[in-house]
Amino acid sequence: MFEESPVGADAGEQGELFPDASLPDELVGYRGPAACQIAGITYRQLDYWARTGLVVPTVRSAHGSGSQRLYSFKDVLVLKVVKRLLDTGVSLQNIRVAVEHLRRRGVRDLARITLFSDGTTVYECTSPEEVVDLLQGGQGVFGIAVSGAIREISGTIHDFPAERADGLEIEQPTEDELTQRRKARNAG
C-alpha cells in the first residue's frame, strides 16, 4: 500500500534544487549502461525492470535487436529510488505501487518527497509534520529523501553521454572557471 498526501510546488525550494534549469528536457536520454552506472544497478536489473514494466524508458523504448533504450533524468531517478527500496527489504509488489505513484509526478514535485517504509508499506511525506506523525507510530522505519537522490544524480549525470531522441545535437554547458581549474588540477 502506498500512502500519499498532496504535493504543491514551492518555488523557493525548487530554486535551490534546480538553480540553473539544469534539468534535461524530455527528449534527452541516457542509454542503458549509463543509466545503470548512474543509478547503481546492474544491466540485468535494468533489463528485467524494463521487460516487466517496473521502470520503462520514457525517451525511447527498444524496438527489437540493436535498438537502444533511452532513459530520461526522471527514469534514472526512479531507478535509483527502486534500488534503495529493494536494498532495504521492501517487496517488489509494494515497490511497483510506489513507482506507479512516482510516475504521475514531475521531477520538481518529486524533489519535495521523502519516502518512508516500515519494510511493508511505503509512505510519502512532504512536510516535517507528516514525518513526525509517521514516526510517532512507534514502528521502525527508514526514509529515502528523493531530493538527495536528485542531487546525487545531478552531480554525476553530466559525466555520462546523453543523446536526444530526435537526433539533434545536445548543447554542452560551458564550464565556469572553477570547474576548469578543478579539472586541470585533477589531470596534472
CA distance 176 to 127: 35
Q: Classify residue 187: in a domain, yes or no.
A: no
- Report whether 170 contacts 28 (CB < 8 A): yes
Q: Classify residue 188: in a domain, yes or no.
A: no
Q: Classify residue 93: in a domain, yes or no.
A: yes
Domain that holds residue 153: 12-170
Q: Classify residue 186: in a domain, yes or no.
A: no
Q: Classify residue 19: in a domain, yes or no.
A: yes
pLDDT at 175: 60
pLDDT at 139: 65
Q: Classify residue 95: in a domain, yes or no.
A: yes
Q: Classify residue 74: in a domain, yes or no.
A: yes
Q: How many domains does the chain have?
A: 1
Residues with Cβ within 8 Å of residue 7, at least 6 apart in sequence: 105, 109, 112, 113, 126
Average pLDDT of the chain, as a whole number: 79
Q: Classify residue 2: in a domain, yes or no.
A: no
Q: Flag residues of the chain having pLDDT under 70.
A: 1-24, 66, 138-140, 171-176, 178-179, 188
Q: Which three cell numbers stand for residue 54?
A: 517496473
Kindly report, residue by residue over 81-99, the tens digit of the pLDDT: 999 989 888 888 888 888 8
Question: Which CATH number do you get for residue 75?
Answer: 1.10.1660.10
CA distance 40 to 27: 23
